[in-house]
Amino acid sequence: MLNENDYPISVQFDFAAGTFDPVQIRDDRRLSDLHMMYHDKDAINCILANEDPLIYELWYHPFETSKSDMALGVTRLLPGKIGDEYHMTKGHIHEQDDQPEIYFCVKGQGYLLLQTIDGEFRAEPWQAGTISHIPPMWAHRVVNTGDEMLVFVASYHLSAGHDYRPIIDKGFRKLVVERDGKPNFVESPRWQ
């Protein structure tokens, strides 16, 4: 006997808008949710004194036949900077040590930052059409270095779990900052 969730589901993705329909869950990440991730605390305080800008939206469709089913997530990362640091996702590592993920950049440009717990670091350049495999035990963060919204589709197992603590504690090895109008990688003072 099939339950309601056991039937095939299709959603329609709109490539121009970077949205899909129907969407089950929508969530926002504002500067106040992410302030600990950016290096320029004066810039953060200055912005937050006036407004709490939207940095990214999350659109989800969890498929819930079992706890090892997959989630479909779309992240819509607005262009912009906090001080000289480009808008980025919070970044996390999966709690379960055997859980990978696929990211598919459908709009915009930037970088996917990847890092192991021992500090091995990679930055994958991204443009519309780039598909990246994130192996298990690599923390992942996306940075929007372009002038338009960066949109990517993610698919991962619901059981993967999200651990933000290592990123809150030490961040990534490199910051992506604007220098002379271009993205530049600099060593993070928080990393040791």
Where do contacts with Zn ion occur on this chain (CB under 5 A)? 101
Residues 76-115 that bind ligand PAN (CB under 6 A): 89-92, 101
Residue 73 binding partner per list Zn ion, ligand PAN, none, with a CB distance cut-off of 5 to 8 Å that depends on partner kind: ligand PAN
Q: Which of 18, 73, 110, 146 binds ligand PAN (CB under 6 A)?
A: 73
139 touches ligand PAN by CB under 6 A: no
Counting residues that bind ligand PAN (by CB under 6 A) gives 13
Taking the complex as a whole, the smallest distance from the CB of residue 157 to Zn ion amounts, in Å, to 10
Question: What are 30-36's contacts with CB under 8 Å, separation 24+?
Answer: 30/54, 30/55, 31/55, 31/82, 33/90, 34/90, 36/168
Single out the segment in contact with ligand PAN by CB under 6 A; choices: 20-28, 62-70, 156-164, 178-186.
Answer: 156-164
Give long-range contacts, CB 8 A cutoff, 24+ apart: 175-178. Answer: 175/39, 175/85, 176/85, 176/86, 176/88, 176/111, 176/113, 176/123, 176/143, 176/145, 177/84, 177/85, 177/86, 178/81, 178/84, 178/86
What residue ranges bind ligand PAN (CB under 6 A)?
A: 58, 73, 75, 89-92, 101, 140, 154, 156, 160, 162
